[in-house]
Amino acid sequence: MTSQNKPNSRRDLLKSMAAAGALIGASAAATAAPRKAAGPFLPITASARRELKKAVKGQVLWQGEAAYESARGNAVYRANKPKRFPTVIVIAESDKDVVAAVRFARGHGLKVGRRSGGHGWSSAHLRNGAMLIDLSRMQEVEIDAKNKTLWTHPGVLGSRLNAELNPLGLIIPTAHHPTVGIGGFAMCGGFGWNSRLWGNGSAHILAVDVVNAEGELIRADETQNTDYLWAARGAGAGFFGVVTRMKMRVNVLPPVMKLSAYGYTADVLEELFTWARGIVDKIPPYMELVIVSTAHDAKTGLASPVRLTVAALAITETHKQADDALAILETCPVLSKATFRRVGIPQDLEQRYASGYAADPAGYRFAVDNIYTNAPAAELVPKLRKLFTELPSPRSHVFWLNWGPTRPFPEDMALSVQGDVFLAAYSLWEDPAQDEAMEMWPVNQFKDLRSLSVGGQMNDENIARSPQRYLSDAANNKLEALRERHDPHGVFLSFLRSVT
């Protein structure tokens, strides 16, 4: 074992974080000095606590109160809940509650974290000594089918939006997993249904209602408060406000959805990935092609040898278009070694969400890391065997997505990092005694690949443990300048820089 692939010690980790110092967008966001406090602040006395309860129609739970711990746990999807304890949790029921909460936080020197669906992998919203504003009880959706738009509260699940849109012949890209909130998904970038064709979740945001650092409710769209709209489209936890409603573009639901899937053993891993890298430019935008390594039996859940599944989903206008696109899977040079082959199976979103849920079911402990790369097969493929075959538990999995050929992102979005191939590793486990090792596993697995990375995807971020380039330098500099302008006293928490 070389020193490069030895498990990371805490010192190595700190060293790598310092070296990466300039990363998030590789610069200021990770290293920025804490903002000046707006104090003097009012003390948080018993009467101040009562005052907040009176001002908020929803629930206010101060640390130590009976329902606090379950609200804290519910705010995070993964079972390895961070040991971070906000001073107060406000479960808002309306914009007015959010305004009251932000004003209280401002006056009393509490920093504010925001939760929509609670699936952010690093749970940046949960911080010691802060206020957590939980938006999950705000659940209104208004669809304007004629104009192909909707207004939604950010805590609404993506799958619910499509359950309402699909009968109207409409669809919106959401996470492939049914319980992810539309808020964090779209604000972090968001790779969803046909995103290669229709754009990321961020590109679907047309307007946002925001409670800003002054505690005022404002609207941001193409004509007003445009800084907020730009940042809502991809700044993720770096956003300087609380989004209380989002207006989003929706797409016409194409009539055909078909899936092909082929199984391979790890013996053919190099041939498989060399082929997959080589066809990046040939995959039409209405098809997503992934290769996933798993090490459990899909029916029993029991450990099994590593299996590589090549799967492609085509969402198209005609059967011919779908069949033609899926036919590329038959060009795989090791096709004759496929252990199973399922071709052109009709699908609907309900089935796809169920499959997403089966991969990442509730109740597990999770950790993640990812990179985007443009590296050619000759450099990339030799580094993939370790990543894809050393799964630390039966439920853990590693993911390859042919994201390219990349089209430049428009400048009206903070979202700014992408690459031809997206790689992500997910550890899943149950035993708390394994936390430290399993939380570091995805980070360690990418060590050998860092030199080939062009940055990471914010949705699958692990910023505290694996600081990397999540925004372009230009976008990062702009975000820092906007945070300074619109939240000079740092009312809102930003990216999580330390896991404790």
Contacts to ligand FAD by CB under 6 A: 77, 114-121, 124-125, 135, 154, 175-177, 180-181, 183-185, 187-188, 190-192, 236-237, 239, 242-243, 360, 459-460
CA angle 308, 162, 217 (to 5 degrees): 115
Nearer to ligand FAD, 115 or 469 (CB): 115
Strands in 95-241 per DSSP E = 112-115, 131-134, 141-144, 149-152, 170-171, 205-211, 217-220
Cβ atoms within 10 Å, residue 182: 32
Three-state DSSP state, 385: helix
Nearer to ligand FAD, 175 or 475 (CB): 175
Q: Tell me the closest approach of the beta carbon of residue 101 to ligand FAD, in angstroms.
A: 12
Residue keyed to tokens 């700014």: 416
Residue 457 dihedral angles phi and psi, to the nearest 5°: -95, 125
SS3 content of the chain, % helix, strand, coil (to 5): 35, 25, 40
Residue keyed to tokens 């110092």: 21
Nearer to ligand FAD, 232 or 253 (CB): 232
Q: Tell me the closest approach of the beta carbon of residue 14 to ligand FAD, in angstroms.
A: 23
Cβ within 8 Å of residue 114, ≥6 positions away: 125, 132, 133, 135, 239, 242, 243, 492
Nearer to ligand FAD, 145 or 298 (CB): 298
Q: Tell me the closest approach of the beta carbon of residue 352 to ligand FAD, in angstroms.
A: 10
Position closest to ligand FAD via CB: 184
Q: Tell me the closest approach of the beta carbon of residue 368 to ligand FAD, in angstroms.
A: 8
Three-state DSSP state, 88: strand
Cβ atoms within 10 Å, residue 10: 9
Contact of 117 with 155, CB cutoff 8 Å: yes
Nearer to ligand FAD, 288 or 420 (CB): 288
Q: Tell me the closest approach of the beta carbon of residue 236 to ligand FAD, in angstroms.
A: 5
Residue 98 dihedral angles phi and psi, to the nearest 5°: -65, -40
Q: Tell me the closest approach of the beta carbon of residue 458 to ligand FAD, in angstroms.
A: 8
Nearer to ligand FAD, 72 or 383 (CB): 72
Tokens of 310: 């090549």
Q: Tell me the closest approach of the beta carbon of residue 487 to ligand FAD, in angstroms.
A: 12
What's the sign of the alpha-carbon dihedral 486, 72, 187, 92?
negative
Alpha-carbon distance 326 to 170, whole Å? 23
Q: Tell me the closest approach of the beta carbon of residue 39 to ligand FAD, in angstroms.
A: 24
H/E run at residue 289: strand 287-296
Q: What is the number of alpha carbons within 13 Å of residue 25 lying toward its C-beta?
A: 22
- Kindly tell me the burial class for residue 225, based on how many C-beta atoms sit within 10 Å of its own C-beta (0-12, 13-18, 19 or more): middle
Q: Tell me the closest approach of the beta carbon of residue 270 to ligand FAD, in angstroms.
A: 27
Strands in 153-192 per DSSP E = 170-171
DSSP 375: -
Nearer to ligand FAD, 129 or 376 (CB): 129
Q: Tell me the closest approach of the beta carbon of residue 262 to ligand FAD, in angstroms.
A: 21
Nearer to ligand FAD, 418 or 459 (CB): 459
Nearer to ligand FAD, 180 or 482 (CB): 180
Nearer to ligand FAD, 180 or 310 (CB): 180
Nearer to ligand FAD, 86 or 190 (CB): 190
Q: Tell me the closest approach of the beta carbon of residue 102 to ligand FAD, in angstroms.
A: 11
